[in-house]
Structure 1
Amino acid sequence: MVYFIKQTAVHLFPGYFALVMATGALSTGTFLLGMMFISKILLFINVIAYLSLWFFTLVRLFFFFPNILADLTSHTLGPGFFTLVAGTCVFGSQLIIVSNNYSVSIYLWALAIFLWVIIMYTFFAAVTVRKNKPTMSEGINGAWLIAAVATQSISILGTLISSKVDAGQGVILFFSLCMYFLGCMLYLNIITLIFYRFTFLRLKYSALTPPYWINMGAVAITTLAGSTLILHSKSLSILAEITPFLKGFTLFFWVTGTWWIPLLFILMIWRHLYHRYPLSYDPQFWGMAFPLAMYSTSTYQLSQALETPFLVIIPKIMVYIAMAAWISVFIGLMRHLYANFSKS
Structure 2
Amino acid sequence: MSRGAAHLVEEVHPVAGAAVMGTGIVAVALFSTGHQGLSDVFLGLALALWVALAAVVLVRLARDPGGVVHGARAAEALTAVAGTCVIGTRVVLGGSDDAGALLLIAGAALWVVLVVPALRALPPRAHGGTLLLCVGTEAVAGLAAALAAARGASWLLVPAAALAVLGLVLYLDVVRRIDPREPVRGHGDHWVLGGALAIAALAFANLHQGATALGAAPDLHGALRTATIAVAVAAALWLPVLVVSEVAAPRLRYDARRWATVFPVGMYAAAASVVGKTEGSGLLRDVAGVLVWVAVAVWAVVLVGLLGRVGGRVAAGRASAHG
Under a length normalisation based on structure 1, what TM-score does the superposition of the two structures give?
0.86
Check if 1:332 corresponds to 2:305: yes
Check if 1:101 corresponds to 2:96: yes
- Are 1:170 and 1:235, in contact at CA under 8 Å, matched by a contact in 2? no
- 1:191: which partner in 2? 175
- 2:198: which partner in 1? 220
> In structure 1, how many angstroms separate the alpha carbons of the residues matched to 2:42 and 2:305?
17
Q: Where do 1:55-66 residues align within 5 Å?
A: 55-66=55-66
SS in 2 for 1:17: helix
Question: For each residue in 1:35-67, what CA deviation from the matched residue of structure 2 results, as whole angstroms up to 9, or x when unmatched?
Answer: 223212111211211111111111112212222
Question: For each residue in 1:143-180, what CA deviation from the matched residue of structure 2 results, as whole angstroms up to 9, or x when unmatched?
Answer: 111111111110111122224547xx232121111111
> In structure 1, how many angstroms separate the alpha carbons of the residues matched to 2:286 and 2:190?
26
CA 1:237 to 1:182, structure 2 compared with 1: closer, same or farther past 3 Å? farther
- Are 1:23 and 1:42, in contact at CA under 8 Å, matched by a contact in 2? yes
CA 1:267 to 1:303, structure 2 compared with 1: closer, same or farther past 3 Å? same
SS in 2 for 1:140: coil
- Are 1:95 and 1:102, in contact at CA under 8 Å, matched by a contact in 2? yes
Deviating more after overlay: 230-239 vs 323-332: 230-239
SS in 2 for 1:323: helix
1:234: how far off? 3.2
In the alignment, residue 45 of structure 2 is paired with which amino acid? I
**Residue of 102, 126, 140 corresponding to 1:154:** 140
CA 1:312 to 1:164, structure 2 compared with 1: closer, same or farther past 3 Å? closer
> In structure 1, how many angstroms separate the alpha carbons of the residues matched to 2:16 and 2:183?
24
1:306: how far off? 1.8
- 2:262: which partner in 1? 289
> In structure 1, how many angstroms separate the alpha carbons of the residues matched to 2:167 and 2:59?
31
User: Percentage identity across aligned positions?
Assistant: 23
**Residue of 316, 323, 336 corresponding to 2:296:** 323
- 1:313: which partner in 2? 286
- Unaligned residue ranges in structure 2 (runs of 5+): 319-323
> In structure 2, how many angstroms separate the alpha carbons of the residues matched to 1:265 and 1:144?
20
**Residue of 114, 117, 142 corresponding to 1:119:** 114
> In structure 2, how many angstroms separate the alpha carbons of the residues matched to 1:114 and 1:61?
18
Deviating more after overlay: 332-341 vs 16-25: 332-341
> In structure 2, how many angstroms separate the alpha carbons of the residues matched to 1:317 and 1:103?
32
> In structure 1, how many angstroms separate the alpha carbons of the residues matched to 2:196 and 2:44?
25
- Are 1:5 and 1:56, in contact at CA under 8 Å, matched by a contact in 2? no
SS in 2 for 1:324: helix
Check if 1:145 corresponds to 2:118: no
- Are 1:10 and 1:64, in contact at CA under 8 Å, matched by a contact in 2? no
> In structure 2, how many angstroms separate the alpha carbons of the residues matched to 1:204 and 1:49?
28
Check if 1:211 corresponds to 2:189: yes
Question: For each residue in 1:178-233, what CA deviation from the matched residue of structure 2 results, as whole angstroms up to 9, or x when unmatched?
Answer: 11111111112222332xx206xxx695x422111000100100110011111111
- Are 2:141 and 2:164, in contact at CA under 8 Å, matched by a contact in 1? yes
- 2:248: which partner in 1? 270
> In structure 1, how many angstroms separate the alpha carbons of the residues matched to 2:284 and 2:151?
32
- Are 2:92 and 2:150, in contact at CA under 8 Å, matched by a contact in 1? no
Check if 1:89 corresponds to 2:92: no
What is the number of residues matched between the two proteins? 317
In the alignment, residue 141 of structure 1 is paired with which amino acid? H
> In structure 2, how many angstroms separate the alpha carbons of the residues matched to 1:290 and 1:101?
23
Deviating more after overlay: 315-324 vs 143-152: 315-324
SS in 2 for 1:232: helix
Q: CA RMSD in A?
A: 2.0
- Are 1:22 and 1:326, in contact at CA under 8 Å, matched by a contact in 2? yes
1:246: how far off? 1.2
> In structure 2, how many angstroms separate the alpha carbons of the residues matched to 1:177 and 1:231?
12
Q: Where do 1:6-85 residues align within 5 Å?
A: 6-73=6-73, 78-85=74-81
**Residue of 219, 237, 252 corresponding to 1:241:** 219
